[in-house]
Amino acid sequence: MFDRWGRWVHLRRRWVLAAAGAVLVFAGVWGTGVFGALSTSGGFDTPGSESAKAAHIAERDLGRDEADVVVLYQGRTTVDDPAYRTSVERALAALPPDKVAATSTYWSTGAPQFVSQDRRSTYAVLRLAGADEGARSDSYEAIRDDLTDVGGGLTAKVGGSVATEAAINERVSSDIGRAEGMAMPVLLVLLVLIFGGLVSASLPLMIGGIAILGSFTALHALTYVTDVSIFAVNITTFLGLGLAIDYGLFMVSRFREEIGRGRSVEDALAATMATAGRTVAVSGVTVAV
């Protein structure tokens, strides 16, 4: 079966390359949208479990009291300065009410826990509008630039669960791109030294890129039916790149051996698929399972 597959691919190699290119473009455009659809925390409770029922009852009867966003204000004066209070309350009042369901501050609660010991720092707790994590994340994105616009000589820093999730998403996305940018040149140099040629050395890296983008596409599709952790991207990257290079070494090495024996390209590809290709298929299915 595998040798026939190799011959079939050789006879239709241009169509196979064109199809692979189309899949690569689609995966690069739609698949990379997975970064905005992954979950960084929550969303992994079991529906119908006792804990989920208890949480639903508590939220229904008592309301949701989670600190979605926490804004820390710091100033040269103390919170007892009327100008300090005015600046904070003006900034909070300017936030759109359809994005912020409720706010709590030192002045609205009188709780001393809202103020630092030197009384120069205080924080506001924001509960965002939205029925689920996705909606609250959208609300945060709509107001995130306004949260640090305080005035009155005050500075503001943003934290809280929703803000942290957004920061993790951004960090993971940028770090993966940076890691791949650093790893690819090093791997290419090593592969060139091993294979003694740029074309053969670039094939495993190319397959690694296709595997990673293809996995991103699969993960993006999964987010429509279930929650997927942001850390799935990290696992996908190092597994996709590592296995693709490993399997690519098998395939390229065996193909070059067959070519060295005087076989034609078609015969060499068929023999490669019947031996190394079969090994890669069995190993790949095992890893996937």
Give the integer Cα–Cα distance in Å for 88 and 70: 13
The single residue listed with the structure tokens 């026939």 is 4
Tokens 């996908």 map to which residue?
236
Q: Rounded to an integer, what distance in angstroms lies between the CA atom of residue 178 and that of residue 159?
A: 25
The tens place of each residue's pLDDT in the chain, 289 residues long, gives: 888 988 999 999 999 999 989 998 999 899 888 887 777 655 566 777 888 788 778 777 776 667 788 889 998 888 888 998 988 888 888 888 888 878 888 888 888 889 898 998 989 888 887 777 777 877 888 888 888 888 878 888 998 888 888 888 778 777 877 877 787 788 888 888 887 788 888 888 888 888 889 999 999 999 898 888 877 888 888 888 888 888 988 898 899 899 999 999 999 999 999 999 999 999 989 988 8
CA distances from 187 to 236, 240, 262 (A): 18, 14, 30
Q: Please give the helix or strand (H or E) that residue 155 lies within, else none.
A: strand 155-159
Per-residue exposure over 83-107, b if at least 16 CB sit within 10 Å of its own CB, e if not:
ebbebbeebbeebeeebbbebbbbe
Q: What are phi and psi of 159, to 5 degrees?
A: -145, -160
CA atoms of 239 and 85, how far apart (whole Å): 52
Using a 10 angstrom Cβ sphere, with 0-12 exposed, 13-18 middle and 19 or more buried, the burial of residue 44 is exposed
Can you tell me whether residue 115 is helix, strand or coil?
strand
Q: What is residue 65's predicted lDDT score, i.e. its pLDDT? A: 60
Check residue 244 and give its pLDDT: 86
Cross-strand bridge partners of residue 69? 126
pLDDT at res. 264: 92
> Rounded CA gap, 105 and 98, in Å?
19
Contacts of 92 (CB under 8 A, 6+ apart): 100, 103, 105, 124, 126
Distance (Å, rounded) from C-alpha 63 to C-alpha 108? 18
* CB-based contact 146:99 (threshold 8 Å): no
**Residue 193: predicted pLDDT:** 85
CA quadruple 76, 77, 79, 84: dihedral sign: negative
Domains of the chain from N-terminus onward: 2-43+165-288 (no CATH), 68-159 (3.30.70.1440)
Residue written as tokens 């590592």? 242
Residue type at 284 in one-letter notation: G
Specify the 3-state DSSP secondary structure of 158.
strand
Note the pLDDT of residue 207: 86
pLDDT at 64: 60
Whole-model pTM: value is 0.61
How far is 32 from 39, CA to CA, in rounded Å? Answer: 15
pLDDT (0 to 100) of residue 15: 94
